[in-house]
Structure 1
Amino acid sequence: MKKCLLFLFGLLMMSCSKDDFSEQKSIESKIVVEGWIEEGDYANVLLSSSIPVTDVIDSTNVLNHVIRSAKITISDGENSEVLSVKNDKNRIPPFVYFGNTLKGEAGKKYSLKIEFLNRIVEATTTIPKSVALKSAEYIKKNPTDTTGYVFVKFDDQVDEKNYYQIATKINGEEPIFVPSFYGNLDDQNFSSPSVSVQINRGILLFPKTKFTPYFADGDLIHVKLRTQNKDALDFWNSWQNEIVNSRNPIYPSNTSLKSNIKGGIGIWAGYGQSTIIVKTPPKK
């Protein structure tokens, strides 16, 4: 199933550039980055050029803006690796840069360097310590309902400053974790260290079916609690605000999404992570 995460093509209203366009054309656009490295896992980076406001934004045009010939280097200050690129047919766009030697560790700083044509794009992030999910439960308002929500519980570390993101992935329907709607949390807003929160499904671009904010009987739901940095919290909150205000987050109507990318736009984030699988009743 071809799905697209919240891929960040054309976050600003810029001029068009393709992977095989001339150097002059590439200068007119922005390099758009969505990259992450989780504790215990390898780096992933999605790379594109920004889409002009005059262009039609659909899955076909998105493919025209993929950058798949860049050199991407990840380093923890001691070791480094150049990411490979693969074709993942479960995604739109189907090209992902990925690592296979440098695994994320909590507390370490990771630099990102992208070299494409005559440009260099850079960013740094750190991986916060993971916080374990205590439980995740599928709950319906009425026993006869065929849909419901997921409620998660975890303990905030009171002696630390933490920012969180809750993401979900429905087995067989979504190939990647999707940040939950209103799932970005700042622990300054918690009334107790024992946190219980309802999860609403996140929004995919170019979904195969009509979006609904709830889960359904028959879903096998992977729930992930990420610890994140303030840069990532600000980025995802600005993305969410665009949706809440009925704007298209592909290119904000009057604001730019927050970014920690030097020489480009987007996000390079380190995450701690804890995952639980939630089984729902069989679909009738």
Structure 2
Amino acid sequence: MKKYILLLLTLIIVSCSKDNFNEQINQESKIVVEGWIEEDDFAQVLLSTNIPVTNVIDSTNILDHVIRSAKVTLSDGQTSEILRVKNDKNRVPPFVYFGSIIKGKAGKEYSLKIEYLDHVINAVTTIPKSVPLQNVEYVKSNPTDTTGYVLVKFDDPVNEKNYYQVATRIDEKEPVFVPALYGNLDDKNFQQSSVEMQFSRGILLFPKKKYTPYFTDGDVIYVKLRTQNKDALYFWNSWQNEIVNSKNPIYPSTTSLKTNIKGGLGIWAGYGQSTLILKTAPIK
């Protein structure tokens, strides 16, 4: 099983003992949500309970905290659907709630309702208008290097407020898009509407190989520019700050993680998106 995924469930820790874990699900544990719906795509949601601080955390016992029997309802205000669960063996954990009826459209609002045991969780998001990528390039510090970075170019619309996220996925190595390091952007920081920025690889939990911030010769990289809402920007910035500052994605400070989930933790986000494929230098 490939051990790649951005896991929110490991980020929220509660003090309780292993002996009475089942009892404390109802009393203390919170449900952690990582959900999204992109323009022209269907919703996906990952659910878990937070992990007791006394537990050893690895890719095996994470499965003990995955929620696979919740009722997850998505609505766009006119149509509703109950998301189904599928087993995706390329992910850790391998269970994903997915939609197949409601496809994301820019400007529309999407509500999520999660029912599990005695928990009822709600969240609402909208999909911002997409901003197209103009170009992506593979750049190196020195021509003789075998590693490099991604250079992203796009035009930030004038007189529009936008928040962005740059994410990448390496073909045949990563099954999901991973936010680039420092890839969450507020256009108030742009000096001009024509944007050109360089990005490193994002951080994965439970990687198959030791993490490095570089892309490598021979990689085929899918580069995605997402437009996102302010609450998603705040969440991903707080998540990133925990990793960068503490250098420990397993036990961050829970108080600084932002959320837009009512009755739980995590993020339900709508994204506009534009994706380009980048082929790096061939392996010599």
Give the TM-score taking structure 1 as reference length. Answer: 0.95
Matching of residue 258 in structure 1 with residue 250 in structure 2? no
Code of the residue aligned with 2:58 in structure 1: it is D
1:6 offset after TM fit, Å? 1.8
Give the gaps of 5 or more residues in structure 2: none
Matching of residue 219 in structure 1 with residue 219 in structure 2? yes
Label 1:166 to 1:241 Cα distance change in 2 as closer, same or farther (>3 A).
Answer: same
Match of 1:88 in 2: 88
1:247 offset after TM fit, Å? 4.3
Match of 1:46 in 2: 46
Q: Secondary structure at the match of 1:96?
A: strand
Matching of residue 128 in structure 1 with residue 128 in structure 2? yes
Matched positions, count: 282
Match of 1:283 in 2: 283
Q: Secondary structure at the match of 1:271?
A: strand
Match of 1:207 in 2: 207
After superposition, residues 60-75 of structure 1 pair within 5 angstroms as 60-75=60-75
Q: Could you tell me whether the CA contact under 8 Å between 1:8 and 1:33 is conserved in 2?
A: yes
Matching of residue 238 in structure 1 with residue 248 in structure 2? no
1:94 offset after TM fit, Å? 0.3
Q: Secondary structure at the match of 1:25?
A: helix
Code of the residue aligned with 1:27 in structure 2: it is Q
RMSD: 1.6
How far does the alpha carbon of each residue in 1:222-275 deviate from its partner, in whole angstroms, 9 at most, with x for none? 000000000000000001101111243334236341000000000000000000
Label 1:237 to 1:24 Cα distance change in 2 as closer, same or farther (>3 A).
Answer: closer
Question: Equivalents in 2 of 1:178, 1:152: separation in Å?
Answer: 15
Moved more, 80-89 or 249-258: 249-258
Give the TM-score taking structure 2 as reference length. Answer: 0.95
Match of 2:273 in 1: 273
Q: Could you tell me whether the CA contact under 8 Å between 1:72 and 1:115 is conserved in 2?
A: yes
Matching of residue 161 in structure 1 with residue 156 in structure 2? no
Q: Secondary structure at the match of 2:65?
A: coil
Match of 1:32 in 2: 32
Match of 1:177 in 2: 177
1:140 offset after TM fit, Å? 1.4
Match of 2:137 in 1: 137
Code of the residue aligned with 1:220 in structure 2: it is V
How far does the alpha carbon of each residue in 1:124-170 deviate from its partner, in whole angstroms, 9 at most, with x for none? 00000000000000011222111111101000011210000000000
How far does the alpha carbon of each residue in 1:94-146 deviate from its partner, in whole angstroms, 9 at most, with x for none? 00000001000000000000000111000000000000000000011222111
Question: Equivalents in 2 of 1:254, 1:106: separation in Å?
Answer: 32
Match of 2:146 in 1: 146
Counting aligned pairs with the same residue, the percent is: 72
Q: Could you tell me whether the CA contact under 8 Å between 1:84 and 1:97 is conserved in 2?
A: yes
1:15 offset after TM fit, Å? 5.1
1:205 offset after TM fit, Å? 0.2
Question: Equivalents in 1 of 2:5, 2:183: separation in Å?
Answer: 15
Match of 1:13 in 2: 13
Q: Could you tell me whether the CA contact under 8 Å between 1:9 and 1:250 is conserved in 2?
A: no
Question: Equivalents in 2 of 1:16, 1:168: separation in Å?
Answer: 36
Question: Equivalents in 2 of 1:74, 1:254: separation in Å?
Answer: 27
Code of the residue aligned with 1:214 in structure 2: it is Y
Label 1:113 to 1:105 Cα distance change in 2 as closer, same or farther (>3 A).
Answer: same
Q: Secondary structure at the match of 1:63?
A: helix
Match of 2:193 in 1: 193
